[in-house]
Structure 1
């Protein structure tokens, strides 16, 4: 499969480009970025071609991997699907429900496959744990926390990007928590509460279709010594904790493998654009509650 990369930022440079170059079943055919000089630098480093025209790249490939801010990703994903390209997307799919709906509709109408790179879902140990807990059932409650220090003190953090500064932890790490909670506890029936904590920290209370409830704490401004991610379930089977660890490059390699499988018609992927839309809808509902509380 010939695949192109859209984006030249830190995530594209650190993870996407090296993975696409090394993947044995992918032909890394080119890079497009909003800054042509950055696209050329990434392309030269990985032995591929820099494109000035995104539509020219879309015409030359079978799939695209996207490492762009969510609002930009949504617009280009719609164009890529229209050009017949399978989609390896980043989370969140879009910055608005309307944008995510456009992506899901474009993929469906074009008949292309899509995989959204919710990192935890592609770490083997975590993926196996999620499947086991979903099969076990009987969960009463869960608590998830994703705490980072992207905006705590240092101005030179590679992920201190404008969109993260604007949208905060809810939209950056919130998708990770939801990507684990939904397959285990069921869809979010209602965001029962949303409150702000220190800096960009938010706290959510979710009601799930299974009858379980969950709480979620998210931050990109935690003290460095307090950072980390975790998720604990409690129910009739006792207590179960999401395994730690996992390498982002290995996880993206697995996501690419699974996009290849979906493109061969094996089945729609569980983390496709439609699932990305549902996650976006939950984030937007929480954002609305937070805004109402601020007023």
Structure 2
């Protein structure tokens, strides 16, 4: 499968490009970016071609991986799907349900494969745990805490405009939902949302299986308190999400494998554009409640 990369930012440099260049069943065909010089530098580093025109790249590939802000990603994903290209997308799929629906509809109409890179879902230990807990069932409630310190001087994402604008709800909220939804079922109601310090968000969900869950999300937590924890409680006691044994680069390689498999056999992946759209709809509902609790200048 010939695959191109759209985007040249930190995530593209640290994860997407190295994983695609090292992949043994994908041909890393080229890079396009909104900054041509950055695309040229990234392409040269990984022995591939820089494209000045996105449609030229789409014409030379079977699939694209996208490492761009979600609003930019959504528009280009629609464009790529309509060109018949399979999609390896980042989370969040989009930051409005309207944008997300456009992507999911384009994927459906073009009958292309789609995989959205919810990192935890492509890490073997956590993914096996998710499947095990979903099979066990009987969960009463869950607590998901995703705390980061993204805007520190040593963070590669410190200057990310969309993260500063949209905050933790949209950056790490998708990760939390990607773990909870397969275990507890779809969200029936976003029951409450309240703002904490800086961009911190607290969200309460009711799931269709009857369970409830709470999310605590932040990109501005003190570094000493940063970390991730998901705890389930139910008939069989408690269960904690295990730590991942490897990082995002091998996880992204597995996501690329999943895209290739979905393209070959035609079966939708559990983390496809339709699933990512549902995550977007839940986050938009939470954002509407959250906005009313934030202090205004």
TM range (shorter): over 0.9
Judge conservation of contact 2:193–2:203 (CA < 8 Å) in 1: yes
SS at match of 2:48: coil
TM-aligned CA deviation for residue 266 of structure 1: 4.8
1:67-146 paired onto structure 2 within 5 Å: 67-146=67-146
Which residue of structure 2 lines up, in the alignment, with residue 45 of structure 1? 45
Matched, 1:36 2:27: no
Matched, 1:224 2:213: no
Taking the aligned partners of 1:244 and 1:282, their CA distance within structure 2 comes to 25
Which residue of structure 1 lines up, in the alignment, with residue 3 of structure 2? 3
Which residue of structure 2 lines up, in the alignment, with residue 250 of structure 1? 250
| Structure 1 segments of 4+ aligned residues over 2 angstroms from their partners | 154-157, 292-295
Taking the aligned partners of 1:47 and 1:281, their CA distance within structure 2 comes to 39
SS at match of 1:264: helix
Taking the aligned partners of 2:266 and 2:240, their CA distance within structure 1 comes to 31
Which residue of structure 1 lines up, in the alignment, with residue 149 of structure 2? 149
Judge conservation of contact 2:20–2:28 (CA < 8 Å) in 1: yes
Judge conservation of contact 2:31–2:49 (CA < 8 Å) in 1: yes
With the length of structure 2 as denominator, give the TM-score of the two structures: 0.97
Q: Give the root-mean-square deviation of aligned CA atoms.
A: 0.9
TM-aligned CA deviation for residue 291 of structure 1: 1.6
TM-aligned CA deviation for residue 293 of structure 1: 3.0
TM-aligned CA deviation for residue 237 of structure 1: 1.1
Matched, 1:277 2:251: no
Which residue of structure 1 lines up, in the alignment, with residue 209 of structure 2? 210
Which residue of structure 2 lines up, in the alignment, with residue 59 of structure 1? 59
Unaligned 5+ residue runs, structure 1? none
Taking the aligned partners of 1:236 and 1:144, their CA distance within structure 2 comes to 19
1:134-180: CA deviations, max 9, x gaps?
A: 000000000000000012xx345211200000000000000000000
1:20-51: CA deviations, max 9, x gaps?
A: 00000000000000000000000000000000
Taking the aligned partners of 1:270 and 1:135, their CA distance within structure 2 comes to 15
SS at match of 2:265: coil
SS at match of 2:78: helix
Judge conservation of contact 2:113–2:266 (CA < 8 Å) in 1: no
Taking the aligned partners of 1:207 and 1:166, their CA distance within structure 2 comes to 27
SS at match of 2:233: strand
SS at match of 1:293: coil
Taking the aligned partners of 2:216 and 2:189, their CA distance within structure 1 comes to 17
Deviates more, 1:122-131 or 1:241-250: 241-250
